[in-house]
Chains A and B, each alone.
Chain A
Amino acid sequence: MNLSILLWLPLAAVVAGLILPATEARFAALLGSAAALVLSIVLLFRFDTGKPGLQFVTNKVWISELGIHYKLGVDGLNLFLILLAAILFFAAIAWTALRDWERPRLFYLWFGLAESGVLGALMAQDLALFVIFFDLMLVPFYFLGGGWGDTPNRVAAMVKLFIYTLVGSLLMLSAAVATGVLAQGPGQPITFDLVQLASNARRLPVGSQEWIFLFFAAAFLVKMPAFPVHGWMPDGYKAMPLPVLAVFSGVLSKVAAYGFLRIALPLFPDAAVHFQELILFIALASILYGSVLAFTTRDTRLILGYSSVAQLGFITLGIFSLQDTGAQGALLQAFNHGLVVAPAFFIVALLAARAGGSEDLRDMGGIAFRAPILAVLFLIVAFANLAMPGSSNFVGEFLILLGVFNSKIVISFVAFTGVVLASVYTLRLFIRAMHNRVGPHVESREISLTHGLIVAPLVALIVGIALYPQLALHRSQRSVQASIREAKALTQPAREAQR
């Protein structure tokens, strides 16, 4: 199977859609993302769990002077994230297709470009290619938010978001260039191939690993976002249209977490071990700060936004436990969180539609009254979001915390506070929106069939993966172990010495 087809199909579809009449443009985007979804499902079935390393590799020389290759590949790390991206983009495009937008062809063009950009960042197996896609995927969101956003000050908010994340990206670009140059041994050609860079022959000296690692980490943490570099998040989240936000929050932040596993740990293991505690501390602060703010704010979007900060904190925590269990849980959690947060944003859209257009919790209440199906869908999403045991999110959190427990026990204890707080803010959101007395402007009505057809399958997926998380765990196990092997090996002697 050729990954290039999957990668460029969404973009090709929306470009073809430019010749369609403006009212029909949505179908081109829908078709493209549906095809990408089908292909990614095929990918899932044809993926060979028993085989180590990359599969379905496409490797072509792109810029030979700089040693940059157009190399795509799939392994256990990105298999499910590709699937996640395909699912969420399809759902979000389907959701946007239910209403009319101004300048629809342009709108869907950006949407399709966003999907291709995200898929590219997930599939890229060349450091330079990854950096390009990582930046490329942000551009469409700038225009989607600035052009079609919800708040009057959307352009300013998106500029803030764009500049802030771009600064991180530029740091990453310089770090990527430095990696390629410094890893070039005498007489060797320069290369950005991730597999080659991760091999021992190309390992960087510890000193340069450290600053390069920090640059990469900065880019990833801003994109996640992690405390305290999440400042773009509140305004940016408020500015974006909800379906756009669903994919933005659902997928883009996962690319950052994925970046740690794909790039930072295998390429810079010494630095990862050196900065383990720093990153763990940032992750912990994200969990606590995100949780506490999520139960103070009254804006439903921001509750989900801050909850994402906390959840991404858990994911980072798992990765930097530098334990198999933690990293495995983090990867599963990345998939789970994307799957949960997207329907949650869709539901916020539905709630706002029922509360007279307001997204403020104070204007909601009692929506469940005549909308039992909506209430059930929301309830399942809420339970999954707070990682109730029995959901796949719990398995993720369980493995993450087990990993942290085994490496840094005190940090894991503090992190457990985040688990309790998650139940507080999620239930608060659910209860104050759906239960209690009917709000002043609330008109309780059932979810419409079309909206239901988008949210219900997502919820069904949440239930499905909850019943059988092994589906994802089984396929990612080998790659995750490979990704953290070097870093983990470096922590072992330190621990032995401590005893």
Chain B
Amino acid sequence: MNVNWYLIVSSLVFAIGAAGVLTRRNPLVILLCLELMLNAANIALIAFARMWGNAEGQIFAVIVMVVAACEVCIGLGLVVAIYRRRLPIDVDEIRELHG
């Protein structure tokens, strides 16, 4: 199968993720969309790995998954912390660090 199909799927998933990140305001959903984006990248990586027939792309994909897991841990931790302090669960409202 042509690698192009994989890439088209990958870029579609990526675009959906990016659009979600840009448009949604709930941090939980933003995290989900981020996951989508990462996985889109994973698809592309594995497709290329398969194309060249070596394992490096797969290794990258595994690393990305590890990073994604870490990121979700911290992200969800932040969401829980925000929830506990009864702050609005809305990324536009949480902007104390502005310059």
A–B touch (CB < 8 A): the answer is no
- Give chain A's interface residues, CB within 8 Å of chain B: none
